[in-house]
Amino acid sequence: MEILLLCFRFYPAGESRKSEYHGSDLWYSGKLLRIDLTNEKVVQENLDEATLRKWVGGTGLGAKYLYEEVPAGVDWNDGENRLILASGPLGGTSINGSGTVSIVTKGALTNGAAACQANGFFGAFLRFNGIDCLILQGKAKRWVYLSIQGDEVET
């Protein structure tokens, strides 16, 4: 059984964050975290403005990476599949419903692309920590956790 626990630090209004802005004027942070569960590595990538304009929102970013990185014959429970959690450009703002997060992967029912949105604070916390997208890949050999506190990422 593969388990990943996520932990975020919430930054109250007025408290400074060390995170540097990597995005554009599109209301994105411009950062993606790739979590390789097999090798227990976390890699940060910057998202360019052209990608953010073409693939709008969390579901758009998720669809981009799912179709580019997961080969056609991969099953939903294969380590080559991706589990993508992403927030859209309004994530973490005071607009109603903006705290949602999109989850994109290959679904277990049809083994095809699947996307859903979840309400709550996860999407907002992701954005408050300067991240637009998490891509989980591989299979963990043991229980692992991921702690994100601004620019500090710990596994």
- Quickly state the pLDDT bin for 36 (edges 50, 70, 90): very high
Phi-psi region of 83 (alpha: psi -120 to 50; beta: other; left: phi over 0): beta
pLDDT at 93: 83
d(CA 59, CA 13): 28
What is residue 15's predicted lDDT score, i.e. its pLDDT? Answer: 53
**DSSP string computed for 60-90:** HHHHHHHHHHS-TT--TTSTTSEEEEE--TT
Across the chain, mean pLDDT equals: 84
Percentage of the chain beyond pLDDT 70 is 83
Mean pLDDT along residues 31-36: 94
Q: How far is CA 30 from CA 73, 126, 138, 140, in A?
A: 31, 12, 24, 27
Short-list 127, 108, 126, CA closest to 116: 108
Q: Which residue has the higher pLDDT, 88 or 66?
A: 66
Q: pLDDT digits over 91-139, tens only?
A: 888 888 777 899 999 999 999 999 999 988 888 888 888 899 999 999 9
7 contact partners, CB below 8 Å, separation of at least 6: 145, 146, 147, 148
- What average pLDDT does this structure show over 56-78? 94
Classify 23 as helix, strand or coil. Answer: coil
